[in-house]
Amino acid sequence: MLEVCRITVRRDNREILNIERLSIAPQHFTVILGHNGSGKSTLLKVLAKQLKPDHGQVLLNGKDIHHYRQRILAQQIAYLPQRLPQVAGLNVKELVRLGRFAWRGTFGRWQTEDDALIDAAMRDTGVAQYANHATDTLSGGERQRAWVAMLLAQQAPLLLLDEPTSALDPAHQYEVMALLRRLNQQQRRGVVTILHDINLAARYADRIIALKQGRIVFDGTPQQLLSPTVLNELYGIDTHIVAHPTQALPLAVIG
């Protein structure tokens, strides 16, 4: 269980995040929504120990995450930033292999289990056929799946992803989200991801958290989110809810 307790983050004398209480249940698929500048990435960085709040704390299984050594924390939480690091020269298998660093360190003894986990992660994400391909030559969707494979090889029970679909075309957005949902359901990995697309979030999430000016203004199910009143309050623009032609869940239409 990941718990946020009375955290605030300030920058340039401006409060950009203020959350009294928030619990992230294991094994759920949680999406964070909100305007640009609403505090989404800041919150995810705080959850991942990438940013220390000015006040308050984040607890992992009852212990402040800043009391965990980084390698031990990485065995529990895997984090993928919005801007992916440069991996020039690494093929896909070498990239996925980096996920085992949390368990082996720089000089740890490599074990047969590690190779098995790397191969399984590539199979689960559909990138095994690219194992010897340079990562930076892949398409956007393939490259994103390779990074998710690296997170899987890390074997952390909770995955935090900052806008994993932002640079992808619609087809690849749904491909990556379907992959994350499948991993969540089949492997019981908890997933917390930031999105901008309301309908994409509603289709795949168990729980949606919406931020506005650094505060939580909505926390509920996709069905509860898909309300003109809720969406108008959140985004400040007229939103209509229409029936989906093939699915039970309706669609949000802006304007």
Name the maximum alpha-carbon separation found in the chain.
58
Q: What residue segments make up the domains of the chain, in order of their start?
A: 2-76+157-254, 84-155
Nearest 10 degrees: CA dihedral of 144, 150, 152, 158?
-80
pLDDT in tens, 232-247: 888 888 888 888 888 8
User: In the chain, what are the helix, strand and coil shares in percent, each to the nearest 5?
Assistant: 40, 25, 35
pLDDT in tens, 179-212: 899 989 998 889 999 999 999 999 999 999 999 9
Which region among 48-57, 145-154, 161-170 has the lowest average model confidence (pLDDT)?
161-170
- Number of residues in the chain: 255
116: enclosing H helix or E strand = helix 112-124
**What per-residue confidence (pLDDT) applies to 233?**
87
pLDDT in tens, 83-138: 887 787 899 999 999 999 888 766 567 778 889 999 999 998 889 999 999 998 99
11 beta partners: 14
| pLDDT at 77 > cutoff 70 | yes
**Residues 31 and 205: beta-carbon distance below 8 Å:** yes
pLDDT in tens, 20-65: 999 998 889 999 999 888 999 999 999 999 999 999 999 999 999 9
SS3 113: helix
**Residues 156 and 77: beta-carbon distance below 8 Å:** yes
Backbone angles phi, psi at 60, to 5 degrees: -110, 115
SS3 70: helix
Task: Work out the number of other CB atoms within 10 angstroms of the CB of residue 132.
Answer: 9
- Separation CA 92–CA 138 (nearest Å): 9
141: enclosing H helix or E strand = helix 140-153
- Separation CA 104–CA 151 (nearest Å): 15
**What per-residue confidence (pLDDT) applies to 108?**
62
CA dihedral over 208, 211, 216, 218, signed as positive or negative: negative
Mean pLDDT calculated for residue range 146-173: 89
| pLDDT at 170 > cutoff 90 | no
CA dihedral over 196, 199, 204, 208, signed as positive or negative: positive
SS3 112: helix
| pLDDT at 71 > cutoff 60 | yes
**What per-residue confidence (pLDDT) applies to 16?**
95
**What per-residue confidence (pLDDT) applies to 52?**
94
Q: State pTM to two decimals.
A: 0.90
- Separation CA 77–CA 72 (nearest Å): 9
SS3 74: helix
**What per-residue confidence (pLDDT) applies to 105?**
66
Sheet holding 2-11, edge to edge: 14-24, 2-11, 55-60, 63-64
CATH class of 2-76+157-254: alpha beta
